[in-house]
Structure 1
């Protein structure tokens, strides 16, 4: 993108990242030892399912991502497909990814990245809101996104531009959060090796 977009378009994103890094992880983020919230979600075909139903009473890694439009999210999800699916399955654990986008965006993510794990839509950011991980692009960032042909609000199921900070949780079979890793800087993500290490240490 740096090679294709003018500097004046990219500058708001750099400033947004600076602000996010300065603010850091919100104070009210869910803590290990608390129960993972439940809510009605939608699968990639628009069928309703609760998060706890999708978990199926087994331990899991739950990943919150911004949407199909986010290149960093797609890179991370492909890495998780390649490096987490089989190791987690060998441990009897699942992998679930959640975003606030419409189900058709969820389907796009699954098909584009050839994901075999569960990908769900949290319309209205109900669960992400209860976890305390919500944010929204700055007005300048939204304007820069529009120049690039991106409308986050149009991709989200609730018509807002509110999105989760990239976040990874390790959840045990009872639905209790054992580990949470929040990334206000959306360029960085939880590394697969760190996720597996947290899982092995806590589950």
Structure 2
């Protein structure tokens, strides 16, 4: 089953209130409103695209070690996946799909990192819960996400909803900004030029990991 098919199945069950989910229709309506407004804002169209220069970044991994995009690019192309946090079930399914595709990325000489605004403890939880074998980096205040054009502030009505659901982003992230990144994936070449970009303001929609393979080229072992 494709990643998007899994996401669609989860969304259908969630919105139908099937066990273990029991969410009032009013909550679903608020989430739909927020997504529609983010789409209408045009923010995704202003994010970085293929052909743009990728911003350099140095962020801490789940164990506090600094990870530099420059160091990773010195060894090959770099895949960067931005996600909302460990609390987002769509993001967790996305991370699992990236983990399943990791051998194909490594076969092409590429590194993979995922970036979220959450603190290190929640990054460790992401790794543990999803059995990940690639780094999760913490982006305080979504500053790196902003450099890629992905950061947005939640509207007040959505903040109120999150608070009512005890989805406390300041506690997850360690900052009170109530900002998130739009989910996005980038393939960055060793020249720091973006080769592939996929940004979606609808967090329930994610591209297939295999979509990035053409931008990574052939396996070095088979490139003649």
With over 3 angstroms needed to count, the CA separation of the structure-2 counterparts of 1:161 and 1:56, relative to structure 1, is farther
Higher helix share: 2
- Identify the range of structure 1 (110-119 vs 150-159) with the bigger mean alpha-carbon deviation: 150-159
Partners in 1 of 2:162 and 2:28 — Cα distance?
Answer: 9
Output aligned runs, 1:136-175, within 5 Å: 136-175=153-192
What displacement does 1:27 show? 4.5
Does the 8 Å CA contact 2:72/2:111 hold for their aligned counterparts? no
With over 3 angstroms needed to count, the CA separation of the structure-2 counterparts of 1:60 and 1:39, relative to structure 1, is closer
Does the 8 Å CA contact 1:33/1:177 hold for their aligned counterparts? yes
| Structure-1 residue corresponding to 2:32 | 14
Does the 8 Å CA contact 2:185/2:199 hold for their aligned counterparts? yes
- Identify the range of structure 1 (169-178 vs 51-60) with the bigger mean alpha-carbon deviation: 51-60
Kindly indicate whether residue 214 of structure 2 is the aligned counterpart of residue 189 of structure 1: no
**Paired residues, what number?**
201
The two structures have a TM-score, normalised by structure 1, of 0.90
What displacement does 1:195 show? 1.9
| Structure-2 residue corresponding to 1:122 | 139
Does the 8 Å CA contact 1:10/1:144 hold for their aligned counterparts? no
Partners in 2 of 1:136 and 1:72 — Cα distance?
Answer: 19
Point out where structure 1 has 5 or more consecutive residues left out of the alignment.
none
What displacement does 1:51 show? 2.9
Does the 8 Å CA contact 1:25/1:182 hold for their aligned counterparts? no
- Identify the range of structure 1 (31-40 vs 112-121) with the bigger mean alpha-carbon deviation: 31-40
Partners in 2 of 1:193 and 1:153 — Cα distance?
Answer: 34
What displacement does 1:87 show? 0.4
Does the 8 Å CA contact 1:68/1:105 hold for their aligned counterparts? yes
Partners in 1 of 2:46 and 2:112 — Cα distance?
Answer: 25
| Structure-2 residue corresponding to 1:38 | 56
Kindly indicate whether residue 121 of structure 2 is the aligned counterpart of residue 112 of structure 1: no
Point out where structure 2 has 5 or more consecutive residues left out of the alignment.
1-13
Does the 8 Å CA contact 1:62/1:95 hold for their aligned counterparts? yes
Does the 8 Å CA contact 1:65/1:99 hold for their aligned counterparts? yes
Does the 8 Å CA contact 1:24/1:184 hold for their aligned counterparts? no
The two structures have a TM-score, normalised by structure 2, of 0.82
Does the 8 Å CA contact 1:58/1:174 hold for their aligned counterparts? no
Choose from 49, 67, 80 the match for 1:49.
Answer: 67
RMSD after superposition: 2.0
Partners in 1 of 2:30 and 2:49 — Cα distance?
Answer: 32
